Amino acid sequence: MSGELPAQVRVVGTGLLGTSLGLALSARGVDVVLTDPSPTAQALARDLGAGRFASPDDDPGLVVVAAPPDVVADVVAAELLTFPRAVVTDVASVKAGPLESLRRKGCPLDRYVGGHPLAGRERSGAVAARADLFVGRPWVLTTSAETDPGALTLVRTVASALGGVVALMDAGEHDEAVAVISHAPQVAASLVAARLRDLPDQAVALAGQGIRDVTRIAASDPAMWTQILAGNAAAVVRVLRQMQTDLGELLRALDAIADGSPTGARATIAGLVCEGNRGQARIPGKHGGAPTSYASVVVLVPDRSGELARLLHDVGAAGVNLEDLRLEHSAGQPVGLAEIAVLPAVEQRLREALRELGWNVHG
């Protein structure tokens, strides 16, 4: 499972992920070769320190294809042909379609390992790249019956060295998983946010933390998401159809209530919210562990430079480790609420310590 990093890695595509890979591998002494169809993007990645341009003598041990999902299979096929001794991987967020396409082309699948580091950002391009992009993030590797174990070990070594948390799946499992945990949430966020477009200003002003959170990822790039959703169409359809069915049932229940014949309708509504409770509770806690119930301490923080720092300093001085922190915005008032999540065992001690120091502690 462990091994040495390849001496030379070729990165095809110098967007956010490709450039971040180049930065991270270069920092570890790997000879990184950069190439991109756009000369400007390629030069930018080099100038940022992600690697060097290609030369005729290149002999990469690994090629990483960081191209958009709709061309990834073609680019992987070309790289397998051009570098017959190299292992080839990619970083595309859909896996079954490209694999099928490579198989149809008769490519040597023993040297191909599918990859998907779940390390996207709302920003894209080389300028948003960073060497630590993969640290602590899941990095799915997908294999087929043909995959050479040595090829898998090589890609796994690279993913781990860059801080990724490797998960092995087959391509279909991967696509079903991301349809639920990434693609459906994106669609839901867009559907809700789209309703805000024509809302009166006075109504928009009522927006609170709930809709902010639900719609945050609705700010994502339409071109990128069109490719992702189109590239995983079949799996995304399966998830969205289930949501459509649930939504249809909810609408029938609400219609019945609006029409004054609500028999059983309230049970349908409560049932959906309960299902949501159960699903939401499965999301892992911090650091990928099992869900942990943290205790929550709410502190009123004056909106002045340094106040939040002073609060967190006092938390640290109390010897308490902060597990999570959420700030709540206050419309029109110079005050914020900091919700500090801590282990239940230290909650009471923290409350007392902060109160003694004059903090306005709630929750």
Residues 183-202 that bind a copy of itself (CB under 8 A): 184-197, 199-200, 202
Instruction: Identify the residue among 208, 293, 302, 352 touching a copy of itself (CB under 8 A).
Output: 208
43-102 positions binding a copy of itself, by CB under 8 A: none
Instruction: Identify the residue among 286, 348, 352, 356 touching a copy of itself (CB under 8 A).
Output: 286
Measured in whole angstroms, the distance separating CA 80 from the mean position of its chain's CA atoms is: 28
Instruction: Identify the residue among 32, 152, 236, 354 touching a copy of itself (CB under 8 A).
Output: 236
Instruction: Identify the residue among 27, 43, 71, 300 touching a copy of itself (CB under 8 A).
Output: 300
Instruction: Identify the residue among 226, 261, 292, 293 touching a copy of itself (CB under 8 A).
Output: 226
Residue 260, CA distances (Å) to 256, 257, 273 in order: 6, 5, 22
Instruction: Identify the residue among 3, 316, 348, 356 touching a copy of itself (CB under 8 A).
Output: 316
Angle 250-270-196 (CA atoms, 0-180°, nearest 5)? 50
**CB-nearer residue toward a copy of itself: 78 or 177:** 177
Residue 85 beta carbon to a copy of itself: minimum distance, rounded to whole angstroms: 32
Question: Within 10 A of 217 (CB to CB), how many other CB atoms are there?
Answer: 17
Buried b (16+ CB within 10 A) or exposed e, 59-79: ebbbbbbbbbbbebbebbbeb
State how far the Cα of 232 lies from the Cα of 315, in Å rounded to an integer.
45
Task: Give the CB-side neighbour count of residue 317, counting CA atoms within 13 A.
Answer: 11
**CB-nearer residue toward a copy of itself: 40 or 226:** 226
Binding flag, residue 104, a copy of itself (CB under 8 A): no
Which residues sit opposite 62 in a β-bridge?
9, 87
Residue 75, CA distances (Å) to 11, 12, 70 in order: 11, 8, 10
**CB-nearer residue toward a copy of itself: 81 or 274:** 274
Residue 217 beta carbon to a copy of itself: minimum distance, rounded to whole angstroms: 5
140-169 positions binding a copy of itself, by CB under 8 A: 140, 163, 165, 167, 169
Residue 295 beta carbon to a copy of itself: minimum distance, rounded to whole angstroms: 12
Residue 231 beta carbon to a copy of itself: minimum distance, rounded to whole angstroms: 9
Q: Specify the stretch interacting with a copy of itself by CB under 8 A; choose among 4-12, 84-92, 151-159, 173-181.
A: 173-181
**CB-nearer residue toward a copy of itself: 70 or 148:** 70
Helix extents (H) in the chain: 16-27, 39-47, 72-82, 96-104, 149-161, 171-178, 184-194, 201-204, 209-215, 222-231, 233-258, 265-280, 307-317, 344-356
State how far the Cα of 184 lies from the Cα of 187, in Å rounded to an integer.
5
Match 């490719």 to its residue by tokens: 227
C-alpha dihedral over 195, 200, 206, 211, to 10 degrees?
A: 10
247-266 positions binding a copy of itself, by CB under 8 A: 247-248, 250-251, 254-255, 257-258, 262, 265-266
Q: Specify the stretch interacting with a copy of itself by CB under 8 A; choose among 37-45, 48-56, 144-152, 226-234.
A: 226-234
Binding flag, residue 344, a copy of itself (CB under 8 A): no
Q: Is 344 helix (H, G, I), strand (E, B) or coil?
A: helix
**CB-nearer residue toward a copy of itself: 40 or 360:** 360
Nearest to 63 by CA among 41, 44, 84, 46: 84
Q: Specify the stretch interacting with a copy of itself by CB under 8 A; choose among 102-110, 150-158, 180-188, 348-356.
A: 180-188
Q: Specify the stretch interacting with a copy of itself by CB under 8 A; choose among 29-37, 41-49, 302-310, 348-356.
A: 302-310
Which residues sit opposite 90 in a β-bridge?
65
Nearest to 301 by CA among 326, 276, 280, 282: 326
Binding flag, residue 176, a copy of itself (CB under 8 A): yes
